[in-house]
Amino acid sequence: MASVRTLAIATVVCLGVVIVSSEDTERHERNRSRRNIFQTMMMLSCITEKSSFDYSDYGCYCGPGGQGKPVDILDQCCKVHDECYGTAEKNCFPLFEYIGVYEYECKDRKISCAIEDKTKLSCREFLCECDRKVNLCLTKNEKEYNSAYFNMDQAKCK
């Protein structure tokens, strides 16, 4: 029987494929995009050739859940992202980090969040910054990707 983690990953992957396949790349490069849980995946596809699915079940923190010590710098990027989402959940409302929709622009492989007031970020803006930062971190360190950490046994994350 499939584990809850496997089912969650399969669901995210399937929904991600639908969104990614329906995305008009030129429009994505030119215009602001509005998404919810899949916005972080779309951001990554804008700034790198690496697939977001490569990180959907990587190490201890990239993908659903997260515990233990990060296995490498990429996993550390995802741990920081999880912590950022935790802050969003505390300061906004439960599950906001999974359903909140924000605006961002991706142009020339650069991501910018639509921020109205730089002195105080709204929940949407904060969430966008969480996603922007994890994608920059993953892209900056993508040469460190180790396929041995993909679909890793989570028992090693304790």
- DSSP assignment of 38-85 equals THHHHHHHHH-SS-GGGGTTBTTTBSS---S--SSHHHHHHHHHHHHH
**Contacts by 24-32 with C-beta closer than 8 Å and gap 24+?**
28/106, 29/106, 29/107, 30/107, 31/105, 32/103, 32/104, 32/105, 32/114
> Given this model, what pLDDT does residue 130 score?
93
> Given this model, what pLDDT does residue 18 score?
37
Q: Cβ atoms within 10 A of the Cβ of 69, count?
A: 13
> Given this model, what pLDDT does residue 5 score?
56
Check 28, 57, 75, 131 and give the catalytic one.
131
**Tens digit of pLDDT at every position of the chain (158 positions):** 555 555 445 444 444 433 333 333 333 333 333 335 578 888 988 898 888 899 999 999 998 889 999 999 999 999 999 999 889 888 887 777 777 888 999 999 899 999 887 777 888 899 999 999 999 999 999 999 999 999 999 999 98
- Tokens representing 137? 């971190």
CB 99, CB 88: distance < 8 Å: no
β-strand pairing of 102-107 with 110-113: antiparallel
Q: Is 28 a catalytic residue?
A: no
> Given this model, what pLDDT does residue 37 score?
55
> Given this model, what pLDDT does residue 22 score?
36
> Given this model, what pLDDT does residue 39 score?
83
- What is the third-level CATH fold of 4-157? Phospholipase A2 (1.20.90)
Check 81, 108, 117, 153 and give the catalytic one.
81
Burial of 72 (0-12, 13-18, 19+ CB in 10 A): middle
Burial of 54 (0-12, 13-18, 19+ CB in 10 A): middle
Is 82 annotated as belonging to a binding site?
yes
Is 54 annotated as belonging to a binding site?
no
> Given this model, what pLDDT does residue 59 score?
97
Q: Is 117 a catalytic residue?
A: no
Is 86 annotated as belonging to a binding site?
no
Q: How big is the CA angle at 133 (ends 131 and 139), to the nearest 5 degrees? A: 100
pTM of the model: 0.74
> Given this model, what pLDDT does residue 31 score?
33
Is 68 annotated as belonging to a binding site?
no
Give residue for tokens 């969480």: 130
